[in-house]
Amino acid sequence: MALLAAVTVAGPLMPTSLQAATWPPNLGLPGSPCVPIDAGPLPTPLGPGVSTNGLGPGAPAYYEIGLPTGVYAGLRPKAVMLAIHGGAWFVVGPAAAATERLEVERWRAAGWLTVNISYRGCADSIADVSWFYRRVREIMGPGYEICATGSSAGGQLATLLATTFPDLGCAIGQAAPTDLAGLATETAYDLLNGAFDQTFGPILTQGWAAAAFGTDAASLGVASPILHAANVRARLLLAAAYDDMAVPFQQATDLAAAVKAAHPDAYVDAYRLAPGLDGFIHAGVSPQALSDYRAREDALVAPLLPAPVINDPGLFIPAGTVLTGSASDPSAAIASVAITFTPAFGGAPVVRTAACSRCGTSWVTWSVDTSGLAAGFSTAVAAATSAAGNVGYSFVPGIGLLIR
């Protein structure tokens, strides 16, 4: 109970009390309070490798931990992805968390451990998500990268984590409201005329936020990532569908500009997905746009992931000698190993694919024949490529080989 009590204590990210209720709950209108609604039981059973325990006592809400799948099943996870569902800050529970399953399955198949969370909703949303991040960090330790992805209200909570925790590796906001006070003055897509001239959707979104966090500017500011942009150290991807009628794309571009103004070298990618029939948050997008978005996700996390480790072949060898070594990647299967031989005193490099024993696992031995290489001094650089496309090179840039 101590942990549960701790997450409800007001801190720097807890807004002020709500205004008195004068309307039924969750309408997004002034005076309509935020009241959590459980979206119901799980629509489908938990799949293999998914559990609802592991974080210990005190979790404020439902969660699912998913282990890596596919070629990464049984391997050490590359990193951890915290997934946060949307629902206007009041739709919560197992079924709400299940809406993020397609997203987490993609990350699991890429070798990630996922923690798909819900929260108690309304004024407890920020504290609950922060509790989950702190607990995952406590369990995983400093050696793991942790990222957060969220949709709509979950995107606001994910990007707010980036303003609070400097050790968050990256944050993804899909249709994320990032400037809650500014929503009412921005326009969004109008389905009736195809223009960006309606304010009903943004005002409604602001109304739900005000009910959850407080109607005054100070409370909305506390919950608005844009007002804490200078604190962001994580890599950011902010995406929205072209036809989004609830959250203007300006919410993404304004946060991107604020972060870049505070940190010119920051990595911030704001991307608007072209319209189409493929599912996204708040609107459909084109297959090509969705493919491009997935590539941007991969680019976001690529620098955070471990590369394969390969040993150095430190040998002086006669021509025809077989050079051997090993390579390992604790988070992925090694797909191939290649050795580049470069003559020290001029001449074209020669790249040879190594014979690989146990390729397709996380630890391999390799060998390469040096027959036919020009005599003289050469350097050899070994490169191992994992199934995920990560490349690791010899620790030493080049090993001197005297080919006789």
| pLDDT tens for each residue of 7-46 | 222 233 333 333 445 689 999 999 999 999 999 988 888 9
Q: CA distances (Å), 273 to each of 270, 288, 292, in order?
A: 10, 9, 8
Tell whether the model's pLDDT for residue 344 goes beyond 70. Answer: no
Q: CA distances (Å), 389 to each of 4, 298, 306, 336, in order?
A: 41, 11, 11, 10
Tell whether the model's pLDDT for residue 379 goes beyond 90. Answer: no
From first CA to last CA, the distance across the chain in angstroms is: 72
What percentage of the chain carries pLDDT values higher than 90? Answer: 63
Higher pLDDT, 300 or 43: 300
Could you tell me which residues are beta bridge partners of residue 350? Answer: 341
One-letter amino acid of 26: N
**pLDDT band, residue 319 (cuts 50/70/90):** low
**pLDDT band, residue 320 (cuts 50/70/90):** low
pLDDT at 11: 30
Q: Per residue in 59-83, pLDDT tens?
A: 999 999 999 999 888 888 999 999 9
pLDDT at 391: 78
Tell whether the model's pLDDT for residue 357 goes beyond 50. Answer: yes
The sheet carrying 322-328 orders its strands as 309-310, 322-328, 363-369, 355-357
Name the residue among 374, 162, 377, 370 with its Cα closest to residue 268: 162
pLDDT at 8: 25
The secondary element (H helix, E strand) that includes residue 155 is: helix 153-164
CATH superfamily of 2-304: Alpha/Beta hydrolase fold, catalytic domain (3.40.50.1820)
Higher pLDDT, 11 or 129: 129
pLDDT at 396: 37
Residues 6+ apart with CB under 8 A from 308: 327, 328, 329, 332, 334, 384, 385, 386, 390, 391, 392
- 153-164 and 125-140 are packed helices; what angle lies between their axes, rounded to 10 degrees? 60
Do residues 226 and 255 lie in contact, with contact meaning Cβ atoms separated by under 8 Å? yes
What percentage of the chain carries pLDDT values higher than 70? Answer: 87
The Cβ of residue 349 has, within 10 Å, a number of other Cβ atoms equal to 11
Torsions phi, psi for 352 (to 5 deg): -125, 130
Q: CA distances (Å), 243 to each of 103, 152, 276, in order?
A: 21, 14, 9
Fold of 309-403: Immunoglobulin-like (2.60.40)
pTM above 0.85, yes or no: no
Tell whether the model's pLDDT for residue 242 goes beyond 80. Answer: yes
Q: Extract the runs of DSSP E, i.e. beta strands, from 242-362.
A: 268-273, 275-279, 284-285, 309-310, 322-328, 334-343, 350-353, 355-357
Mean pLDDT over each residue of the chain, to the nearest integer = 86
**Is residue 355 exposed (0-12), middle (13-18) or buried (19+ Cβ within 10 Å)?**
middle
Q: Per residue in 389-404, pLDDT tens?
A: 777 765 433 344 444 3
State both tokens at 254: 């304004």
Cα–Cα dist 136/83, whole Å: 12
Average pLDDT over residues 228-241: 98
pLDDT at 10: 27
Where do the structural domains in the chain lie, given as residue ranges? 2-304, 309-403
Tell whether the model's pLDDT for residue 266 goes beyond 50. Answer: yes
Cα–Cα dist 220/259, whole Å: 19
